[in-house]
């Protein structure tokens, strides 16, 4: 008996979507799992069709109407790689409501609408996978939700934004100031023309929200996660790494420390979640201190396992596409959603407060948390 192919439709042919499509065009037979359905690409929705054709995407597969691609009945899986809030959220919700499995790399919609999208997937007995939303190409969310499911996870923390890690690394190695390394990061394509989401820690906030869902079984609100280090007066500092100065970096180096933007979520003894995304002073010779450039590193502490670490390429279209393709293969093999067997939860079921701990003073007046 022949096995029906898994028909895939891709929405968005930008940085990530283009790499996903390229994998189908160049090595489609290798994507088919030995224990699953063959996988075929049947459609691509992209607003800028002429640009997509110029990038080598076949015109025969293209449409500029993503809603029609979802409603056509021709797709067994929808892959959303367009990013942003709308219309991505509406399109993903429509596919899930129609019972169509969805794979996305969009950390914004997962973090901000995750509880509702999860409920839609469960209500319609379909699959929602988002491995590419955190950690790029690092296998991370699946192992936390499934391989570590027998553990009581107490803390998850990491470097989850390649742009800011590149900038802080350059500031420490070369003694340059924030504005100069930002311009360089933009010139090299590591930072967007509008870098707000990266440099103010908003991208990392979205990612720690997703990590907390899988680690602790609850959706927390992104706006509840602190992204400003406290100053010497106790007032909030500037968001993300925007207040980090060359003098701060030099002072940390003199103490054997380096600054890294660390996203942290802790399950406190009273059951509350502590969460923050702030520049943190870590030992220069520690695993976080040695995690340079655009690399990501995430550590998970649990009982009885202890500490498990994940490190690898966390940025770029190719890395994210690798995770998207892995999710598609998982669906072809008949596997379920990213959260595995975790029960459904409602957003806001847990209190959220800033992560408590020791701080170290910097010349700018900022008080940076101390990490290990």
CATH for 28:
3.40.50.720
Q: Which residue do the tokens 């992204």 mark?
A: 227
Same domain, 110 and 228: no
Give the domain range for residue 257: 148-313+350-369
| Bridge-based pairing state of the strands 128-129 and 102-104 | parallel
Same domain, 250 and 364: yes
Residue 337 lies in a domain: no
CATH, residue 208? 3.30.360.10
Whole-model pTM: value is 0.94
Residue 305 lies in a domain: yes
> Confidence class of residue 48 from pLDDT cuts 50, 70 and 90?
very high
Question: How far apart are alpha carbons 82 and 249 in whole angstroms?
Answer: 36
What is the average pLDDT across 74-100? 97
Q: What is the DSSP letter of 231?
A: B
Can 207 be counted among the known catalytic residues? yes
pLDDT greater than 80 at residue 236: no
Strand, helix or coil for residue 165: helix
Strand, helix or coil for residue 11: strand
Question: What is the model's pLDDT at position 188?
Answer: 84
Same domain, 172 and 278: yes
Same domain, 197 and 110: no
Strand, helix or coil for residue 202: helix
pLDDT greater than 90 at residue 301: yes
Check if the beta carbon of residue 277 is closer than 8 Å to that of residue 201: yes
Residue 341 lies in a domain: no
Same domain, 196 and 293: yes
Residue 158 lies in a domain: yes
What is the average pLDDT across 223-234? 76
Check if the beta carbon of residue 154 is closer than 8 Å to that of residue 267: yes
CA dihedral 296, 80, 8, 323 (to 10 degrees): 10
Domain count, the chain: 2
Same domain, 191 and 305: yes
Question: What is the model's pLDDT at position 346?
Answer: 61
Quick count: other Cβ atoms within 10 Å of Cβ 301?
A: 18
Same domain, 87 and 107: yes
Q: Which residues contact 187 (CB under 8 A, 6 or more apart)?
A: none
Same domain, 362 and 323: no
> Confidence class of residue 344 from pLDDT cuts 50, 70 and 90?
confident
Question: How far apart are alpha carbons 14 and 230 in whole angstroms?
Answer: 38
Same domain, 210 and 131: no
pLDDT greater than 80 at residue 235: no
List the end-to-end C-alpha distance of the chain, in Å, as a whole number.
Answer: 57
Check if the beta carbon of residue 210 is closer than 8 Å to that of residue 111: yes
């Amino acid at each position: 008996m022949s096995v029906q192919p898994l028909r895939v439709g891709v929405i968005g042919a930008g940085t990530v979507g283009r790499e996903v499509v390229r994998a189908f065009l160049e090595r489609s037979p290798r994507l088919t799992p030995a224990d699953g359905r063959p996988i075929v690409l049947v459609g691509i929705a992209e607003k800028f069709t002429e640009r997509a054709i110029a990038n080598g995407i076949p015109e025969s597969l293209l449409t500029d109407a993503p809603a029609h691609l979802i409603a056509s009945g021709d797709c067994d899986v929808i892959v959303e790689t367009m990013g942003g809030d709308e219309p991505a959220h509406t399109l993903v919700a429509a596919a899930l409501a129609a019972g169509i499995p969805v794979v996305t790399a969009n950390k914004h919609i997962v973090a901000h609408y995750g509880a509702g999208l999860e409920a839609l997937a469960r209500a319609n007995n379909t699959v929602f996978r988002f491995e590419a939303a955190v950690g790029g190409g690092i296998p991370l969310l699946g192992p936390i939700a499934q391989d570590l499911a027998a553990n009581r996870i107490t803390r998850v923390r990491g470097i989850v934004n390649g742009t800011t890690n590149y900038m802080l690394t350059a500031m420490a190695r070369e003694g340059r100031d924030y504005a100069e390394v930002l311009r360089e990061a933009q010139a090299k394509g590591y930072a967007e023309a509008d870098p707000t989401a990266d440099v103010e820690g908003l991208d990392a906030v979205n990612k720690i929200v997703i990590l907390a869902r899988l680690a602790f079984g609850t959706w927390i609100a992104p706006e509840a996660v602190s992204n400003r280090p406290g100053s010497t007066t106790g007032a909030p500092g500037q968001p993300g790494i925007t207040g980090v100065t060359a003098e701060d970096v030099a002072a940390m180096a003199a103490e054997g420390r380096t600054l890294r933007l660390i996203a942290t979520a802790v399950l406190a003894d009273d059951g509350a979640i502590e969460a923050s995304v702030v520049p943190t002073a870590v030992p220069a010779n520690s695993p976080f201190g040695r995690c340079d450039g655009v690399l990501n590193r995430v550590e998970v502490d649990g009982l009885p396992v202890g500490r498990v670490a994940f490190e690898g390429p966390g940025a770029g279209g190719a890395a994210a596409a690798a995770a998207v393709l892995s999710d598609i293969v998982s669906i072809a093999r008949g596997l379920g959603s990213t959260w595995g067997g975790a029960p459904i939860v409602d957003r806001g079921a847990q209190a959220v407060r800033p992560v408590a701990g020791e701080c170290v003073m910097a010349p700018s007046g900022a008080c940076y948390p101390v990490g290990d």
